[in-house]
């Protein structure tokens, strides 16, 4: 077939290899493969080329951070960005679509380290928005899987599952009939329950329907007479899934046929490459080979020689790759104590700890991230574009964590003799929270340390202590909203003063329409929301940053006066729009630069605040921008 090359303005494609003359078979202990040598780039190109030949328009994959969806932290599937169109909106590219999408799933973070689980993965997907339905989707799936021009998988190695039906929706005989017409015998078509072969609505109501999943016979002996496609014994491995949006679930729990049916499919690149190459693990594929090699080099070890070391290598590989993609996303977040930022922080810190377990004394993530960037910058050019930010954030977060990790591990070791004497082998949640509160030690790492010593952690007691901590923090946040600052530690006070400098700098650069819309301050960073209708340019960001640093360099005095609110406003003091102030207010003046109504506290002079650096400028909501910034030595 023809070769595809990358063209200006087009998504990444690579020249396609000709498929082998004859199928080589699945791995049955001898290392055979369906398509030996096919790599992820070739699979991605083949998939796109196939569906473009079927009149599908290629669309761009979206951000890892979903828009306008507070129910999830990350894009979890290829269909996630297309939900509005599956719900009925018209897509500007038409009714037939194809793309590849980067995804993050966080539910299995603790399972990462085995041979199959991943946090970050790529999904290939094709969609029909009111165009073809079950027959069209199944026939195209079958052709791509089995045709010598495409994946060349022997038909006799395919197994299928379809929805078995229940009291509310009938058995999916239509899909089964299509598969049979293509040569799949009845004994390799398994009818499965709703828990296996049903795609529910995004909420309590909405579009939903049965799915049909495709499996590969891995050549193992069946676990018993009931073993069939969909069995979890390891004989059958899922490679693709066709979802048929056929019904609308109503508020009363009943289902009505949709006027416009849709198809949503998903094929995981990592799993498919593993199958095609006859590998036993995704970490054995070319996708991970250079990443594994980077960890081997850093730790001076050989992957595959020690079971426990291998687990740490896999954790570092997955977490470094996931962190690199999160930080490299156009809507990147920084490590934080909540939301997507917390997941990122957890990934970085868990990888850092396993680096220490392997004997790596320096920073482990940024060298691995460089390999990830080099490996994936073709299909995801944003990684190369954001390289400096990725490396800087990884080094900063890992460096901070390594400073506290030793203290936390040392404290755990001090507690260990007493814990091991307890016949229940349970570490109290109170002690686990002490490690978290005093040393910044995440509960997940405490649980991991405890498990390595045969101990469990009382998670409920930890969560009770954490909830009390949150209540205190919430009270502090309310105090901050009223003009004060809950955390009055040295760094938090510096950051609070920095919000005043930034506010005035933004008004100087962007105009008097800029008004503070909120802030969030910790001892590690500041977040500042402000009114502005458009993204700031790099020049504007740099100018605002320079203005703040000039005021810090000037070592301006910070003074406070108490006066009436109207007098303060008449004197030029800025005040939060909509804020309910007392009749008498505090006004903080920073030299000849800034004057604001605020509850304080602030530094006495700006000179010792450090270097102010804006990490990120992004949208917060309609007409509101958000800046994340840090003060560095």
pLDDT higher than threshold 90 for residue 128:
yes
Tens digit of each residue's pLDDT (9 = 90 or more) over 216-234: 998 889 999 999 999 988 8
Tens digit of each residue's pLDDT (9 = 90 or more) over 428-445: 999 999 888 777 777 888
pLDDT higher than threshold 90 for residue 48:
yes
pLDDT on residue 352: 93
pLDDT higher than threshold 50 for residue 212:
yes
Q: What is the mean pLDDT of the chain?
A: 85
pLDDT on residue 602: 84
CA distance 143 to 240: 13
pLDDT on residue 187: 94
Q: How confident is the model at residue 485 (pLDDT cuts 50, 70, 90)?
A: very low
- Answer yes or no: are the C-beta atoms of 56 and 96 closer than 8 Å: yes
Q: Under CATH, which number does the domain 490-632 receive?
A: 3.30.980.10
CA angle 578, 584, 589 (to 5 degrees): 80
pLDDT on residue 47: 97
In this structure, of 31-35, 305-309, 339-343, 496-500, the range with the lowest mean pLDDT score is 31-35
pLDDT on residue 35: 60
Q: How confident is the model at residue 582 (pLDDT cuts 50, 70, 90)?
A: low
Q: How confident is the model at residue 60 (pLDDT cuts 50, 70, 90)?
A: confident
pLDDT on residue 4: 30
pLDDT higher than threshold 80 for residue 623:
no
Taking alpha carbons only, the member of 321, 300, 311 closest to residue 354 is: 311
pLDDT on residue 459: 93
Average pLDDT over residues 478-503: 68
CA distance 393 to 396: 5
pLDDT on residue 380: 95
Tens digit of each residue's pLDDT (9 = 90 or more) over 71-104: 678 988 888 888 778 877 788 888 999 999 999 9
Q: In the chain, what are the domain boundaries?
A: 40-284, 289-421, 490-632
Omega before residue 601 within 30° of 0, cis = yes
What DSSP character marks residue 605?
A: B
pLDDT on residue 166: 92
pLDDT on residue 12: 46
CA distance 129 to 89: 9
Q: Output phi, psi for 239, to 5 deg.
A: -120, -25
Average pLDDT over residues 248-263: 88
- Answer yes or no: are the C-beta atoms of 98 and 56 closer than 8 Å: yes
* Superfamily, domain 40-284: Bira Bifunctional Protein; Domain 2 (3.30.930.10)
Q: How confident is the model at residue 621 (pLDDT cuts 50, 70, 90)?
A: low
Helix (H, G, I), strand (E, B) or coil at 328: helix
Q: How confident is the model at residue 547 (pLDDT cuts 50, 70, 90)?
A: very high
Taking alpha carbons only, the member of 457, 41, 573, 5 closest to residue 273 is: 41
Taking alpha carbons only, the member of 316, 327, 322, 324 closest to residue 350 is: 316
pLDDT on residue 67: 62
pLDDT higher than threshold 90 for residue 162:
yes
pLDDT on residue 5: 30
pLDDT on residue 10: 35
Report the run of H or E that residue 423 belongs to, with start and end: none
pLDDT higher than threshold 70 for residue 481:
no
pLDDT higher than threshold 70 for residue 17:
no
pLDDT higher than threshold 60 for residue 510:
yes
- Answer yes or no: are the C-beta atoms of 196 and 230 closer than 8 Å: yes
Site of tokens 């190459």? 277
Average pLDDT over residues 263-272: 94
- Answer yes or no: are the C-beta atoms of 367 and 306 closer than 8 Å: no
Q: Output phi, psi for 621, to 5 deg.
A: -165, 180
CA distance 459 to 461: 5
CA distance 400 to 406: 11
Site of tokens 């040569």? 183
- 53, two tokens: 């030949």
Average pLDDT over residues 533-541: 94
pTM of this prediction? 0.67
Cross-strand pairs, 616: 628
**600 Cα distance to chain centroid:** 36
């Amino acid at each position: 077939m023809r070769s595809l090359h990358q063209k200006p303005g087009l998504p990444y494609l690579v020249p396609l290899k000709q498929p082998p003359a004859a199928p080589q078979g699945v791995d049955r202990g001898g290392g055979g493969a369906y398509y030996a040598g096919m790599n992820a780039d070739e699979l991605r190109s083949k998939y796109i080329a196939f569906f473009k030949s079927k009149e599908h328009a290629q669309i761009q994959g979206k951000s890892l951070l979903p828009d306008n969806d507070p129910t999830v932290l990350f894009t979890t599937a290829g269909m996630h960005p297309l939900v509005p169109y599956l719900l009925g909106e018209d897509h500007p590219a038409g009714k037939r679509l194809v793309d590849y999408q980067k995804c993050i799933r966080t539910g299995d973070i603790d399972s990462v380290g085995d041979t199959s689980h991943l946090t970050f993965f790529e999904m290939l997907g094709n969609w029909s928005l009111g165009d073809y339905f079950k027959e069209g989707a199944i026939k195209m799936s079958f052709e791509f899987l089995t045709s010598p021009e495409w994946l060349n998988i022997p038909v006799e190695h395919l197994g299928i599952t379809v929805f078995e039906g229940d009291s509310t929706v009938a058995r999916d005989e239509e899909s089964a009939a299509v598969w049979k017409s293509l040569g799949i015998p009845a004994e390799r078509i398994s009818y499965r329950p709703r828990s296996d072969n049903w795609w529910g609505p995004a909420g309590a109501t909405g579009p939903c329907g049965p799915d049909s999943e495709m499996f590969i016979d891995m050549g193992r002996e069946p676990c018993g007479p009931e073993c069939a496609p969909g069995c979890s014994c390891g004989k059958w491995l899922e490679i693709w899934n066709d979802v048929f949006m056929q019904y609308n679930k109503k508020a009363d729990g009943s289902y009505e046929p949709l006027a416009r049916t849709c198809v949503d499919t998903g094929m995981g690149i990592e799993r498919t490459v593993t199958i095609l190459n006859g590998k036993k693990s995704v970490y054995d594929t070319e996708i991970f080979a250079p990443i594994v090699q980077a960890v081997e080099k850093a730790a001076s070890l050989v992957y595959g020689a020690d079971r426990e070391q291998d687990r740490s290598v896999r954790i570092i590989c997955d977490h470094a790759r996931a962190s690199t993609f999160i930080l490299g996303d156009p809507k990147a977040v920084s490590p934080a104590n909540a939301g997507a930022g917390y997941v990122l922080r957890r990934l970085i810190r868990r990888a850092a700890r396993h680096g220490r377990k392997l004997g790596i004394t320096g920073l482990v993530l940024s060298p691995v991230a460089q390999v990830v960037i080099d490996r994936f910058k073709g299909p995801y050019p944003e990684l190369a574009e954001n390289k400096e930010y990725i490396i800087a954030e990884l080094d900063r977060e890992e460096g901070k964590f390594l400073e506290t990790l030793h203290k936390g591990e040392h404290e755990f070791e001090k507690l260990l003799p007493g814990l091991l004497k307890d016949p229940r082998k349970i570490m109290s949640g109170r002690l686990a929270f002490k490690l978290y509160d005093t040393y910044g030690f995440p509960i997940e790492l405490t649980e991991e340390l405890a498990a390595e010593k045969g101990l469990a952690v009382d998670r409920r007691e930890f969560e009770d202590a954490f909830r009390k901590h949150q209540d205190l923090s919430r009270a502090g946040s309310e105090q901050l909203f009223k003009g004060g600052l809950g955390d009055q530690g040295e760094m938090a006070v510096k950051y609070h003063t920095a919000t005043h400098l930034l506010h005035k700098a933004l008004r100087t650069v962007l105009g008097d329409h800029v008004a503070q819309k909120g802030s969030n301050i910790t001892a590690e960073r500041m977040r500042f929301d402000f009114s502005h209708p458009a993204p700031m340019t790099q020049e504007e960001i740099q100018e605002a940053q320079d203005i703040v640093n000039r005021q810090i360099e000037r070592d301006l005095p910070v003074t406070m006066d108490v006066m009436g609110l109207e007098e303060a406003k008449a004197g030029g003091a800025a005040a939060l729009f909509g804020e309910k102030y007392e009749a008498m207010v505090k006004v903080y003046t920073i030299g000849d630069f800034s004057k604001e109504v605020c509850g304080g506290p602030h530094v006495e002079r700006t000179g010792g605040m450090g270097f102010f650096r804006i990490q990120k400028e992004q949208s917060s909501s309609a007409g509101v921008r958000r800046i994340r910034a840090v003060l560095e030595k």
